[in-house]
Structure 1
């Protein structure tokens, strides 16, 4: 191993971050370097090399549209990141690192040689796309360049001063893109934006797509009940459902940008999520017209209670009329109350004129007696 590589890897091992690394097609030299310097157990939580499509698909959760693309690298990094969060019990800062590549093999390739690397942190996702000068290097040379980019990306993520020189030619093309979750959360906190979304692949969305559904909640933590409700509601509605977290809540203090980012981190690589400044469903309806809000029974009860409308039935009814006029409605899931009694949407006391505003999910379609409050109280973790 070259001296400069060894020095960089040693600095990585001395940093507090813990990582999960996924390398498909290239990047195993970076893994070898990490393992070749004492201290790897301080850095590496897990490394995977999913070469077969079956292994790749299983890690990702489903087959990607294409295996070697920027989006697939981001999805892999998101899954690596959530895996790192799950494996690290000591609450270290964690990083998900992924590479998907097609480089020179023992048979000619018609397409270009390229690699996409993504590095996912709680507040930041950085991706590197390298399009290689085809025919200039042998496999060892292409692998070495890709691995150097991975190690440099880790150094950047860990705020280390070390960098390896990259032997690029004029025909090589390296593109770097950054997605700032933390910046978007701070803008939300300052009121500079009313909402933002983070797609499953980490791309930030500032516009809302109409005619979808949102499953609203605090997700502290995200658990199997939320995930099953997402699947059931998407099946009943016949279209995808995204998650929505509000930084402001009518019954609780606002959550900080750091906490917004931490909540969003739970969805990395798997599900789209929106963060908003909309504590009430009237405000959500104004932000997201033509949307179905998937909520639990207890939340539906609060939506109907006059005390959330300055103790005014008139104000409540006006708000519900506006929600309906925005093209929005509610899909209500049953929930077990504090006395252990399961209550579903059929038991809601909905005024006659708003009956069409509330649909309910039958208990036989969905029932999951689990709550984030109980998980926190008993020290249990959510889902990954």
Structure 2
């Protein structure tokens, strides 16, 4: 493994971020890099390679109009992000990574050799697209280039510095797009069913090592001392659980909560935390 690769992977593993990674059509070396450096269990939650059409359709719940496309990579990243939210440890930053590529094969391809890599975090969607010069590299070499971009995308999402040595030529400069989400947009995505949850952190779980989350669901309209006491007692009985409150934005027998109403109820917890620390 090249020294720069190891340095980037070590920085990723030290970042307190966790990822679910979905790859199709390339970037296989990125997985080897991530998993061969100690510390991968803290940053890699799950890896899936949906290579067949049936596998991809099952993963996304639909068949992409085009498998090697910006939309497919972003759909994969969103699905991976939702999966990461469910698997992640308490208080950790999570991301979903989606990669789809059409690289050199055993037979010549009529279309471009290209790939897309997308990362989704709570408030950002970032996608890179690279078209490779045909005939310039072997499949293994193209796979390495795409692996470098996947590693860089993960490092960027972890907010760690990373300078990659991908050996791309002048015409192959990546095209990038970034979409940033504010709190209202994040909540709307939850209401619309695109994202399974939005997490608000009002305490640092790293003060203690927690193995799991201890969740108290409710409407909390309003939040009162009984709720706080109930979770406090539960926490004393299950000291390896990180205490969390859960509000359902969508209910089967009631209208969905509005963005303003969700924010109003969440604000109660912020104030309760401030009062308890005073």
TM-score (norm 1): 0.52
Partner Cα distance (1:146, 1:10) in 2: 19
CA separation in 1, counterparts of 2:44 and 2:190? Answer: 30
Cα displacement (A) at 1:174: 0.8
Deviation (angstroms), 1:173: 3.7
Aligned-partner Cα distance in 2 for 1:146–1:114:
9
Match of 2:264 among 253, 256, 272: 253
Distance 2:248 2:44 in 1: 25
The answer on whether the counterparts of 1:123 and 1:180 sit within 8 Å (CA) in structure 2 is yes
What CA distance in whole angstroms lies between the structure 1 residues aligned with 2:256 and 2:73? 24
Counterpart of 1:80 in structure 2 is: 80
> What's the counterpart of residue 237 of structure 2?
none
- Counterparts of 2:189 and 2:29, CA distance in 1: 37
Of 143-152 and 154-163, the range deviating more from structure 2: 154-163
Query: After superposition, what is the alpha-carbon deviation per residue over 1:16-56, rounded to whole angstroms, capped at 9, x for unaligned?
Result: 00100010001111111101111110111000111111111
Residues 146-201 of structure 1, C-alpha deviations (whole Å, 9 max, x = no match): 11111111111111122212311122141110010137759x9xxxxxx9999888
Other structure's SS at 1:137 match: coil
Q: Which runs of 5+ in 1 are unaligned?
A: 189-194, 203-216, 230-242, 260-384
**Which 10-residue stretch deviates more, 75-84 or 50-59?**
50-59
Pairing partner for 1:221 from 248, 251, 273: 248
User: 1:75·1:200 contact (CA, 8 Å) conserved in 2?
Assistant: no
2:249/2:256 contact within 8 Å kept: no
Q: Paired residue for 2:66?
A: 66
Distance in 2 between residues matched to 1:24 and 1:196, nearest whole Å: 26
Match of 2:41, SS state, is helix
Across the aligned residues of Structure 1 and Structure 2, the Cα RMSD in angstroms comes to 3.2
Q: How many residues align?
A: 219
Q: Alignment partner of 1:171: what SS? A: helix
Aligned to 2:9: 9
Write the deviation string for residues 118-159 of structure 1: whole angstroms up to 9, x where unpaired: 100001110011111111111111111111111111111111
Structure 1 residue 126 corresponds to structure 2 residue 153: no
For the 8 Å contact 2:190–2:249, the answer to whether it is kept is: no
Query: Residues 33-72 of structure 1: matches in 2 within 5 Å?
Result: 33-72=33-72
Please state whether the residue corresponding to 2:175 is helix, strand or coil: strand
Structure 1 Cα separation of the partners of residues 191 and 114 of structure 2:
26
Pair 16,196 (structure 1): closer, same or farther in 2 beyond 3 Å: closer
Gaps of 5+ in 2: 196-218, 221-245, 271-278
Q: In 2, are the aligned partners of 1:74 and 1:201 still within 8 Å (CA)? A: no
Check whether the contact 2:74–2:127 (CA below 8 A) recurs between aligned residues: yes
Q: Partner of 2:105 in structure 1?
A: 105
**Could you give the per-residue CA deviations for residues 314-341 of structure 1, whole angstroms, max 9, x where no partner exists?**
xxxxxxxxxxxxxxxxxxxxxxxxxxxx
Distance 2:157 2:149 in 1: 12
Mapping of residues 280-295 of structure 1, within 5 Å: none
Tell me, yes or no, if the aligned pair for 1:75 and 1:201 is still in contact at 8 Å: no
1:223-267, CA deviations, whole angstroms, 9 ceiling, x for partnerless residues?
A: 7x65xx9xxxxxxxxxxxxx9763323x982657xx9xxxxxxxx
Residue 221 of structure 1: CA displacement? 3.1
Which structure has the greater CA radius of gyration? Answer: 1
CA shift at 1:58, angstroms?
0.7
Q: Which one scores higher on RCO, CA 8 angstroms, separation ≥ 6?
A: 2
